[in-house]
Amino acid sequence: MAEGAIETLLRSFARTLESRDLEKALSFFSPDAVYVNPSGRFTGTAEIRRYLRWMFETNSELQIVESGVGILASGNKAVFEHTIRGTFQGKKWELPILCTYEASDGKIKRILTLYDPALDGTAGRQGLAATEGGSGCHQGVGEGTPVSLLPTARMAGQADRCGDPAFESGCQ
């Protein structure tokens, strides 16, 4: 990729995520893209579509702000440190995230998203998560129990994993 191209791609992708435009967001991915995050591994645009649709439908007012090192790029690969903010079930949240990207032919080929799961699951004390009700693996956990902000495996189309006791412990 030309110098600066991946940075431009990632910033444009972030603005599109903020706009919650599903079709435009999908246009950034190659057909065989892989998106790995704490909720699972999503291969191809059909699986990525399910994941992004859930994220857009359940999180409003998405905002992505470069933080820390921002975007560090080398050729067609980059690291993007940022903070994502939004509203989930009427509650404001904020989460620091680190992503690695690989691009090919001007499209995202691979994303690996990392964040501290303790912030996602216990963020009620931090003001990062909703505390009532829930969705996906968290449905029915009860009032006062922190609820994961980011899409759960069930909402992202991997419902079979939420019945697995080993996986359920990760949903708490």
Give the structural domain span for 26: 5-171
Instruction: Report the predicted TM-score, pTM, of the whole model to 2 decimal places.
Output: 0.71
Number of domains in the chain: 1
pLDDT of residue 158: 42
Tell me the CATH number at 35: 3.10.450.50
Q: Note the pLDDT tens digit of each residue in 62-92.
A: 999 999 999 999 999 999 999 999 998 888 9
Rounded Cα–Cα distance for residues 154 and 136 (Å): 5
Q: Note the pLDDT tens digit of each residue in 90-114.
A: 889 899 999 999 999 999 999 999 9
C-alpha 158 chain-centroid distance: 15
